[in-house]
């Protein structure tokens, strides 16, 4: 009941300028656990970074050689690396439909949304704000992050919009939409060349299984279970995985 009330108040705050908004609420501070390129947890508070949209951890992009790579994982990991050990200060703005606090955050005194967009790990979410549009233009010009290759805007990837434009500096090859709309953790391999399965065992180790592996057919690919597809043994090992012993 309380959650529904908070969401209702947040919506009113956004639609009525005279209404006290969550901007007046106490700031959320502390170190953060990074869940995605635009989502973190501070203490018990789940935070969605406002004004931007980053790829989901299982979203795929193409690199400068038109090879598939897990740009969503890269965005998450780059944010985690950049903010490691630094203090976060998040200014709450609203509550989204998933119950997360939408906020503008500073990390070590720096606008972290601005850093993500300028580094090419997120896009300006202009449906809600144009604050980071200039930073996106700078990232596109510098071919930073995702802009070095080809990708689909995160909001189009989530709904699997087959008519969406392919963004980035690389001229996409034939059939690029099929690869870019696939998931690194979906039930079907994103490409005939990417059939190595990776999963996490009970000890927290990442294990990869080639199609000849004894357990290959028994592994169900689902992001909530920490699975992902790899295109080569080298890619799997670079991600910190080891080959199954059976």
Bridge-based pairing state of the strands 206-209 and 242-243 = parallel
For position 11, what pLDDT does the model report? 44
What's the pLDDT tens digit per position in 196-207?
999 888 888 889
Q: Provide the domain limits for residue 112.
A: 2-182
| Proportion of the chain above pLDDT 90, given as a percent | 52
On whether both 125 and 38 belong to a single domain, the answer is yes
On whether both 64 and 171 belong to a single domain, the answer is yes
Domains contained in the chain, number: 2
Q: Please tell me the distance from the alpha carbon of residue 160 to that of residue 162, in angstroms, as a whole number.
A: 6
**Domain boundary, last residue among 182, 198, 222:** 182
Residue 130's CATH number: 2.40.50.90
- Identify any residues that bridge with 168 across adjacent strands, giving them in sequence order: 150
On whether both 187 and 165 belong to a single domain, the answer is no
Give yes or no for residue 99 having a pLDDT over 60.
yes
Is there a contact between 89 and 83 (Cβ–Cβ < 8 Å)? no
On whether both 18 and 99 belong to a single domain, the answer is yes
Give yes or no for residue 224 having a pLDDT over 90.
no
């Amino acid at each position: 009941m309380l959650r529904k009330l908070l969401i209702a108040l947040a919506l009113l705050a956004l639609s009525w300028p005279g209404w006290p908004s969550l901007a007046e609420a106490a700031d959320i501070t502390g170190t953060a656990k990074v869940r995605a390129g635009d989502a973190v947890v501070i203490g018990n508070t789940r935070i969605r970074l406002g004004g931007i949209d980053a790829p989901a951890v299982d979203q795929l992009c193409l690199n400068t050689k038109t090879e598939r790579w897990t740009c969503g994982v890269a965005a998450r990991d780059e944010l985690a690396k950049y903010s490691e050990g630094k203090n976060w200060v998040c200014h709450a703005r609203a509550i989204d439909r998933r119950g997360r606090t939408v906020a503008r955050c500073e990390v070590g005194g720096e606008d972290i949304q601005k850093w993500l967009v300028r580094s090419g790990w997120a896009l300006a979410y202009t449906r809600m704000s144009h604050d980071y549009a200039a930073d996106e233009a700078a990232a596109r010009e510098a071919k930073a992050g995702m802009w070095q290759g080809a990708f689909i805007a995160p909001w189009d990837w989530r709904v699997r919009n087959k008519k969406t434009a392919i963004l980035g500096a690389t001229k996409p090859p034939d059939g690029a939409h099929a690869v870019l709309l696939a998931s690194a953790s979906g039930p079907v391999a994103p490409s005939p060349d990417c059939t190595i399965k990776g999963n996490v065992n009970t000890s927290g180790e990442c294990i990869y299984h080639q199609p000849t592996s004894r357990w290959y057919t028994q592994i169900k690919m689902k992001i909530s279970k920490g699975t992902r597809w790899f295109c080569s043994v080298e890619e799997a090992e670079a991600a910190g995985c080891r080959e199954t012993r059976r």
